[in-house]
Amino acid sequence: MLHLVKKDLLLQKKALPIVAVSLLFFAVAFSGAGSVGLVISTLALGYMLVYDAGLREDKSDGNKLLACLPIRKSTVVLSKYVSVYLYAALILIGNAVVRLAAVGLGLEHYTFPITLEGAVGAMAALTVIFSIFFPLIFKLGFLKSRTINMIVLFVVVFAGTWVLSAVAERTGVNPLEIEPGPGVAFVMAAAVLALLVGSYFLSLSFYRKREF
């Protein structure tokens, strides 16, 4: 399975410069967003990376190749889910590097901070978003699902930020800065995990039925 993840990375050799530039761009663009900056950056760049690898693969009929090789469909699906977290780790490191450089150069208010809440939030948001994306991707392929998923991404990000700021205005409290109690945190984590697992099985069932 790791071969597959490595393959996705190899496929993106060309995209890396663009991703690096985008990373910088988001770091600056959302510098005012505080911890949330990391979440947005992770979501956007995660989407870019997953889709770049996926589109390149679809273009070369990569799925057909994988279907001809002795690889379990479950392995293929799993590798895509795993790759998301690999990208998240890379994005985190990238942002951390940018932040450190900014701090070192005295430009820290041009980038957003790296915080634990931000990292956890980024992972959670990524998990939720891709749990929604992947079943569609495995059913329709990257090409056909791109438009729908892009819309979903925008809706979630903007609606999400709108809802959060609305709540913050009404109650005077920024929901993102509330430290959830361990009970709530546990429930939230379990929900996200359940969503992830459900998504995996749905993706697998769609992928198994696909014809190449």
The footprint of another protein (CB under 8 A) covers 3-4, 6-7, 10-11, 13-14, 56-57, 59-62, 64-65, 67-72, 209, 211-212
- CB-count exposure of residue 80 (10 Å: 0-12, 13-18, 19+): buried
* Residue nearer to another protein on the CB measure, 2 or 105: 2
Which CB atom, from 55 or from 120, has the smaller least distance to another protein? 55
Minimum Å distance from CB 57 to another protein?
Answer: 7
Which one, 67 or 124, has the nearer CB to another protein? 67
Q: How far is the CB of 87 from another protein (least distance, A)?
A: 18
Residue 17 Cβ, how far from another protein at the closest point, in Å?
Answer: 15
CB-nearer residue toward another protein: 139 or 196 = 139
**Cα separation of the two ends of the chain:** 21
Least spacing, CB of residue 51 vs another protein, in Å = 15
